Amino acid sequence: MKPFPRRATPFLLLPLFLAACSSESDPTTGQTDNPAPAPVDTPAVETDGPISAAIRAAAETITGEAIRTVVAEIGSDAYEGRGPGSEGDVKARKYIAEGLEAMGYKPGAADGSWEQAFDLVGINADQPPTWSFSSGGEKLDLIQSTEFIVGSGVQSQQSIITESDLVFVGYGIQAPEYEWDDYKGQDLTGKTLVMLNNDPDWDDDLFAGNRRLYYGRWDYKYESAAKQGAAGAIIIHTDPSAGYPWQVVQTSWTGEQFELPAGDEPRIQAAAWLTSDAAEKLVRFGGQDLNQLIEAAKTREFEPVDLNLNTSITLNNEINRVQSANVLGLLPGSDPELADEVVVFTAHHDHLGIGLPNFAGDPEDRIYNGARDNASGTGMVMAIARAVAQSKPRRSVLMAFVGAEEQGLLGSKFLAREPTFHPGKIAANVNFDSGNIWGATRDITFIGKGKSSLDEVTAMVAEMEDRVVLGDQFPDKGFFYRSDQFSLAKIGVPALYLSGGTDFVGRPEGWGAQKMGQYTTRNYHQPSDELTADWNFEGMVNDARFGFYCGMIAANADEMQQWKPGDEFEAARKAALAEVASLAEGAGRP
Ligand SMILES: [Zn+2]
């Protein structure tokens, strides 16, 4: 595949190229029965560089007022925090679909509707007030909420662990590419695994140093334990290894948890967290030293350690089946050659619904408005949608407002499982999650920088916009794996997750990081994440325009975006492109 820079010239060659090819083709390659988006008209692509005057003019329609209107609407109490399957969720989806229809988009779901519905299973585990562990005939009880949080790993009325031995398994990672295996082939069937969070972060050549990989994510840990046939898994929480305080574990894992309906994948019975103090106390009760174990876990030679502890626990689960949906709006491409390929913009429309009040905040307020997370990103992508509708992109453009992101990227996982375009036909994904509410910045954060040809796309726009593109500024937090682009990246789609910068215009150094720190401590996943008078929309306007330009370049470039050689998602891309080629061959097309 040709690197991007050289492709910069193709824009100038476009008229020549377009004259050459005019065959009418059926775009979707058997991936879906969605009727091919008929090309609107012959491409009207200007030739003055990647971003034409018409596209610049369209970008002017992306305004603070446009974004604010959406945040004020779906971030209001009337939407009750847009919990999956709730009335607020249904209302928000309707509001978004009506907005897209008014802009001239077509329904983008396979059944010709605006909504790609997906089922969710809600599990509300009744956590016991205490959890007992025994060792040598003695018993130790840990306290719910202040020392442990536990949820069900199964979608059934009860989760049961009986007489299970605890085994410390270090990070619980199996990564052949790093010659790392924390399990060493030990039989851990029916055990309860005690695991460290994150992945090894002290050596740049090992697990990418302090950049958190998927191996360092809580969901990977529970999946990994299930693959070992374990009965349960306990992650030890520390602020640095989680990237957020214990309070987030308390609020995020209490109450109803949603999942996509279970397949035949292996599952643990119970998924738990312990505070580091509680873990230290528990390990000592079994006669071991946690700090020594943590040191031992930092080597490839590490072997699982029996903790001389045993436990049983039963959770009674309330199971609730609901439905939510991704809202999909499609703008057919203007170029017959490229209209069967698509650029996907994403933003999740859901948040946490109604839950526990924030003990440090207003004890009456139980609505998790999710104004920044992610009514702001929804507003930015709605504004981008309006600009795209005025820009006649060569490729089709899909606006995907995905649901149930807070429950584990479930809506985008479902979209990736049931894509409306073949993954090998998806040129790129541009994702927004939690806009910058504090003002204009000189820099912009590209989460995923260094992984694909989108590096060149963002560099081109940065030059044009006189901005600086920085990679993930908190690599230890693993943001690439914490938002919806990850679901599409897993099926091979090159992804651009644009997030606000930290170098604020007119502010002293460090001001930005301080503001973000305050937000994480006070408002992240709290009822207090609300639209307030001090919100400054300038940053979001600039970042949305930046994303719009990047999306338009990807929509008008001769070729689709690609991962860099050796990237963790390159293999999935190659497989998808090969499948498209063989499907085309099967249909006798070039
Ligand atoms: Zn979010």
CATH number at residue 133: 3.50.30.30
Distance (Å) from CA 207 to ligand 1 centroid: 25
Distance (Å) from CA 6 to ligand 1 centroid: 36
pLDDT at 362: 83
* 249 and 385 assigned to the same domain: no
- Alpha carbons 519 and 372: distance in angstroms, whole number: 10
Distance (Å) from CA 483 to ligand 1 centroid: 7
pLDDT at 21: 39
Distance (Å) from CA 403 to ligand 1 centroid: 10
pLDDT at 314: 97
Q: What is the pTM of this model?
A: 0.84
* 90 and 175 assigned to the same domain: no
* 176 and 142 assigned to the same domain: yes
* 99 and 188 assigned to the same domain: no
Phi-psi region of 243 (alpha: psi -120 to 50; beta: other; left: phi over 0): left
Distance (Å) from CA 8 to ligand 1 centroid: 34
* 211 and 315 assigned to the same domain: yes
Residues near 493 by beta carbon (within 8 Å), at least 6 away in sequence: 344, 423, 426, 428, 429, 485, 573
Distance (Å) from CA 406 to ligand 1 centroid: 6
Assess if residue 83 is contained within a domain: yes
Q: Which of 503, 517, 425, 537 minimizes the C-alpha distance to 65?
A: 537
- Alpha carbons 494 and 427: distance in angstroms, whole number: 7
Q: Which of 33, 74, 72 minimizes the C-alpha distance to 347?
A: 74
* 162 and 27 assigned to the same domain: no
Query: How many Å from the N-terminal Cα to the C-terminal Cα in the chain?
Result: 17
Assess if residue 153 is contained within a domain: yes
Q: Two tokens at 37?
A: 């988006």
pLDDT at 48: 54
- Alpha carbons 409 and 407: distance in angstroms, whole number: 6
Assess if residue 367 is contained within a domain: yes
CATH number of 511's domain: 3.40.630.10
Instruction: Please state, in angstroms and as integers, the Cα–Cα distance from residue 548 to each residue in 366, 371, 393, 541, following that order.
Output: 35, 21, 11, 10
* 274 and 373 assigned to the same domain: no
* 423 and 546 assigned to the same domain: yes
Q: Based on the structure, what is the number of domains in the chain?
A: 2
pLDDT at 478: 83
Assess if residue 80 is contained within a domain: yes
* 350 and 288 assigned to the same domain: no
* 153 and 247 assigned to the same domain: yes
By residue range, what is the domain housing residue 141?
Answer: 123-319
Q: Which of 577, 375, 556 minimizes the C-alpha distance to 491?
A: 577
* 337 and 314 assigned to the same domain: no
* pLDDT, tens digit only, all 590 positions of the chain: 444 334 433 333 333 334 443 443 433 344 433 333 334 444 444 445 789 999 999 999 999 999 999 999 999 999 999 999 999 999 999 999 999 999 999 999 999 999 999 999 999 999 999 999 999 999 999 999 999 999 999 999 999 999 999 999 999 999 998 999 999 999 999 999 999 999 999 998 999 888 888 899 999 999 999 999 999 999 999 998 988 889 888 888 888 889 999 989 999 999 999 999 999 999 999 999 999 999 999 999 999 999 999 999 999 999 999 999 999 999 999 999 999 999 999 999 999 999 888 767 788 899 999 999 999 999 999 999 999 999 999 999 999 999 999 999 999 999 999 999 999 999 999 999 999 999 999 999 999 999 999 999 999 999 999 999 999 887 777 889 889 999 999 999 999 999 999 999 999 999 999 999 899 888 988 899 999 999 999 999 999 999 999 999 999 999 999 999 989 899 999 999 999 999 998 887 55
Assess if residue 146 is contained within a domain: yes
pLDDT at 108: 98
Assess if residue 380 is contained within a domain: yes
* 273 and 368 assigned to the same domain: no
Distance (Å) from CA 367 to ligand 1 centroid: 16
